[in-house]
Structure 1
Amino acid sequence: MFYTVGEMAKRMHVAPSTLRYYDKEGLLPFVERSDSGIRMFKDSDFEWLNIIECLKNTGMSIKDIKIFIDWCMEGDQTIPQRLELIQAQQAVVEQNIQKMQDHLQMLRYKRWYYETAKAAGTCEALRTIKPEDVPEEFRRFHHPKAE
């Protein structure tokens, strides 16, 4: 079964222009075309598009995604390069997750801070709070004069 750009875009939850852009950038060498040049997506193309979306959503550049796709098209001799690229991107994602965890912890602290201030009726209460009265998980964030 073949899908049009619009049908595949709907299946991928992206705009048709996204798939056209990917094609223009050389990311879709696996997509067949009709005699009149219309893109004809197959079910197996869905897997390719999913990895492209995954790599893009992890912050990989279109240039590097193209390199990855080109290596895939070259065959098994490029497995080591593909593995290295995926490992490097995994490290980037893990670093980003850690940064987001740190941001989340700061937001939790600020939530605690303002819930405590609201209950006291003033932020001033937090400027005089004893360090041991600050939940341990938030002590690294609590700087009473900087709030």
Structure 2
Amino acid sequence: MKIQTFTIQKVSDMTGLSPHTLRYYEELGLLNKIGRNEHSYRMYTQADISWIHFLLRLRSTSMPIAQMQQFSSLRSMGDETIALRLELLENHHNQVQEQIDHLTENLDKIARKIHHYKELLNNGSK
């Protein structure tokens, strides 16, 4: 069974990343072993696309590129790095949770202020 592959433009359409950014991610070592066809064009597999989506989740949760590179490097070393990858992801998870908690606290304070101003308006204050 032949593995389905996708051109860089198709992957760009599927992920929202420009072809330039996909090549940049490859240069940074975030995308390893991207295959090439007989014309030397990059050809991505579904596994590559799944990995790109995971990288996008890391970026959207503010993981620095250097940490993404570290995680990608560990991933390419195989199963002996699972514990290190787990530790890296747990640390990132904790940082994201702290950000969420901080945002939630600030959002609650803003909501209370909104409620306060609505009460003032309803009581005839300006």
TM-score higher than 0.5: yes
Q: Per the alignment, in what secondary structure is the counterpart of residue 3 of structure 1?
A: strand
Number of residue pairs the alignment of both structures matches: 123
What is the alpha-carbon distance in structure 2 between the residues aligned to residue 36 and residue 67 of structure 1? Answer: 31
Higher RCO, 1 or 2 (CA under 8 Å, sep at least 6)? 2
Segment drifting more, 40-49 vs 27-36? 27-36
Deviation at 1:42, TM superposition (A): 0.9
Of 87, 112, 116 in structure 1, the residue corresponding to residue 115 of structure 2 is 112
1:8 matched to 2:11? The reply is yes
Q: Which runs of 5+ in 2 are unaligned?
A: none
The residue matched to 1:54 in structure 2 has which SS? helix
Equivalence for 1:17: 20
How much does 1:5 deviate? Answer: 1.6
- Cα 1:99/1:32, change in 2 over 3 Å: same
Check the 8 A contact 1:30/1:45 in 2, yes or no. no
Tell me the CA shift for residue 35 of structure 1: 4.2
Q: Which runs of 5+ in 1 are unaligned?
A: 124-147
Shifted more, 48-57 versus 26-35: the winner is: 26-35
What is aligned with 1:126?
none
What fraction of aligned residue pairs are identical, expressed as a percent? 28
Can you list the C-alpha shifts for 1:86-127, whole angstroms capped at 9, x where unaligned? 11001001101101111210121121022112212325xxxx
Match of 1:132 in 2: none
Instruction: Note if 1:84 corresponds to 2:101.
Output: no
Secondary structure in structure 2 of the residue aligned to 1:47: helix
Q: Taking structure 1 as the reference length, what is the TM-score of the superposition?
A: 0.76
After superposition, what is the alpha-carbon deviation per residue over 1:49-85, rounded to whole angstroms, capped at 9, x for unaligned?
1211111111111111111111111111111110110
* Alignment partner, residue 93 of structure 1: 96
